[in-house]
Amino acid sequence: MSRIGNKPVLIPEKVELSINSNFINIKGPKGELSTEIVDERIKYEVNENELTFSRTSDVAEVRSLHGLYRSLVANNIEGVLEGYKKTLLLQGVGHRATLKGNDLEILCGFSHPVIFKKVEDINFEVPDQNTIIVSGIDKALVGQVAANIRAIKPPEPYKGKGIRYQDEYVRRKAGKAAVTAGA
């Protein structure tokens, strides 16, 4: 039994939900998103201010899709209502980020600055030179863009230099000096 799929999705007053064939369109104060329900074995219906999902069979694939579609729609509702954001930190001497127009210019130890192009529906903020805030209404897109920025220079385990998430813990390794001192 899918615990997540069985939970009803509450529709706040500021959010409009419309259903067109296989699409659930959600419109809110921050924008508009839609989710396509591809599998016809997943049923959904709106009762007053609740959206409920049900499934027609108990096959493992259908059970997993039941929770997936419910989560996607719930994330879209939260996104158009409040939005999502990820904060990235640059660590290391000379590592910094600046906004050049709509694009992001990152200096992170390479011989050249890395230009990260603006992605549609995603906003970049640089409150200080070592912090990047990626924000938008689509949770998956915000996470993917933040992961792409982090992939430019992931944190290394010896000195911890690189681009990391704000709440990320980087496990540090002992260097050569610590290894040879014990021998």
pLDDT in tens, 110-169: 999 999 999 999 999 999 999 999 999 999 999 999 999 999 999 999 998 999 999 999
Q: Is the pLDDT of residue 7 over 70?
A: yes
Q: How far apart are the C-alpha atoms of 21 and 88, rounded to whole Å?
A: 39
Per 3-state DSSP, the chain is made up of helix, strand and coil in percentages (nearest 5) of: 25, 35, 40
CA atoms lying within 13 Å on the CB side of residue 149: 32
Residue limits of CATH 3.90.930.12 in the chain: 3-81, 84-165
Selected from 3.40.190.10, 3.90.930.12, 3.40.50.300, 3.30.420.40, the CATH number assigned to the domain covering 84-165 reads 3.90.930.12
Long-range contacts of 99-108 (CB under 8 A, 24+ apart): 99/124, 99/126, 104/132, 104/149, 106/132, 106/149, 106/152, 106/153, 106/163, 108/152, 108/153, 108/162, 108/163
Domain at 3-81: CATH architecture: Alpha-Beta Complex (3.90)
For the chain, the average pLDDT equals 91
- How many CB atoms within 10 Å of residue 18? 11
Q: Is the pLDDT of residue 2 over 80?
A: no
Phi/psi of residue 181, nearest 5 degrees:
-65, -30
| Model pLDDT, residue 179 | 55
Work out the pLDDT band at 178, boundaries 50, 70, 90.
low
